[in-house]
């Protein structure tokens, strides 16, 4: 294949790769038919911006002996009528998605193609997650899967809005469905999105957006989640960065209906370290305070929690 690909021109090589990827997907769909989903109690989707502790959350959940995690993979699922139960829900497409997601979560690559969370940066050797996972002796696909967690947050959020999906009706149609959003310091989240280029993925991002405009987009994602959660609180879960610890882990475990596992919580705590590497000018912090007070006026307690992030080093 290497020699053949080398002999082809750039356009033909790209077409050839697309054909191979398509054939690979069909093979994966065929093989995924043998996946058992009888023990799956919940399917949880991350929502909100990238660079928002979603990878950390996914890697922590992957350490749980009954939680399976799909990292990215939206380009293989969203838009495929056989699998895209979000845009057009049906029990058959949901079941096919579930089996396919579990199957491809054992392999894959880094980046948008996705697959196993072990290919993410959270499992780089410089972090503790990789060594902790090795200590657990868990396989890439769990023997008993009680929850599938899909980490493709902003692409799923954009997909829901692009197709005018009624999320509450979707929740009624699929009782196993849950949504989760970690809340990193929005100031750090905005800055990180700009530096990594993920700010380009915000659907309503102005061209050459300023830091303040990106911060507003981050807050709009949080507000959207909060509004939906207020209508169905038992189907949405969020946590604030500064609260990440034992109580949050146990809360996630209950929310996802995972079998309680104290050993998991202890191991996950070792991978929970979150440190801010940003310093923000007072003008940026002031903009954050004003934006939070305006946007979240209907949710004063939630706003109070968000405003704790304004106590940052300037």
Are the CB atoms for 270 and 128 separated by under 8 Å? yes
Summarised one tens digit per residue, pLDDT across range 143-166 is: 999 999 999 999 999 999 999 999
Query: pTM for the complete prediction?
Result: 0.90
Summarised one tens digit per residue, pLDDT across range 288-312 is: 999 999 999 999 999 999 999 998 5
Question: Which backbone phi and psi does 155 adopt, to 5 degrees?
Answer: -65, -40
How high is the pLDDT of residue 314? 43
How high is the pLDDT of residue 167? 98
How high is the pLDDT of residue 108? 86
Nearest to 103 by CA among 111, 88, 114: 114
How high is the pLDDT of residue 81? 96
Residue 313 has pLDDT above 50, yes or no: no
Between the CA of residue 203 and those of 37, 49, 80, 206, what are the distances in Å?
34, 11, 20, 9
Residues 6+ apart with CB under 8 A from 138: 63, 65
Give the Cα separation of 166 and 155 in Å (integer): 17
How high is the pLDDT of residue 17? 55
Summarised one tens digit per residue, pLDDT across range 25-52 is: 999 999 999 999 999 999 999 999 999 9
**Could you give the angle at which helices 186-196 and 211-231 cross, rounded to 10 degrees?**
120
Q: H or E segment at 44?
A: strand 42-46
Q: Residue 108 forms beta bridges with which residues?
A: 115
Most confident option among 6-10, 204-208, 215-219: 215-219
Q: Who wins on pLDDT, 123 or 284? A: 284
């Amino acid at each position: 294949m290497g020699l053949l690909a080398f002999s082809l021109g750039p356009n033909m090589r790209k077409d050839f790769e697309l054909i191979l990827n398509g054939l690979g997907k069909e093979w994966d769909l065929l093989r995924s038919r043998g996946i058992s989903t009888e023990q799956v109690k919940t399917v949880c989707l991350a929502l909100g911006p990238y660079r928002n502790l979603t990878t950390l959350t996914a890697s922590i959940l992957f350490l749980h002996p009954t939680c399976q995690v799909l990292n990215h993979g939206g380009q293989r699922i969203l838009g495929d009528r056989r699998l895209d139960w979000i845009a057009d829900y049906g029990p058959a497409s949901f079941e096919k998605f579930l089996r396919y997601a579990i199957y491809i979560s054992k392999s894959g690559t880094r980046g948008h193609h996705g697959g196993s969370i072990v290919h993410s940066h959270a499992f780089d050797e410089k972090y503790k997650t990789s060594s902790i996972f090795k200590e657990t002796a868990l396989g890439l696909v769990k023997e008993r899967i009680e929850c599938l967690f899909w980490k493709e947050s902003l692409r799923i959020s954009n997909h829901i809005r692009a197709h005018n999906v009624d999320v509450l009706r979707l929740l009624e149609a699929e009782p196993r469905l849950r949504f989760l959003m970690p809340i990193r310091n929005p100031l750090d989240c905005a800055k990180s999105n700009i530096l990594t280029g993920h700010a380009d993925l915000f659907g309503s991002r102005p061209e050459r957006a300023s830091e303040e405009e990106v911060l507003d987009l981050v807050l709009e994602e949080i507000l959207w989640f909060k509004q939906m959660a207020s209508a169905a609180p038992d189907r949405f879960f969020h946590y604030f960065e500064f609260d990440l610890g034992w109580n949050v882990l146990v809360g996630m475990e209950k929310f996802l209906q995972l079998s309680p596992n104290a050993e998991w919580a202890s191991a996950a705590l070792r991978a929970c370290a979150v440190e801010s590497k940003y310093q923000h000018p007072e003008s940026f912090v002031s903009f954050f305070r004003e934006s939070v007070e305006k946007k979240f006026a209907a949710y004063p307690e939630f706003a109070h929690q968000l405003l704790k992030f304004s106590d940052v080093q300037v």
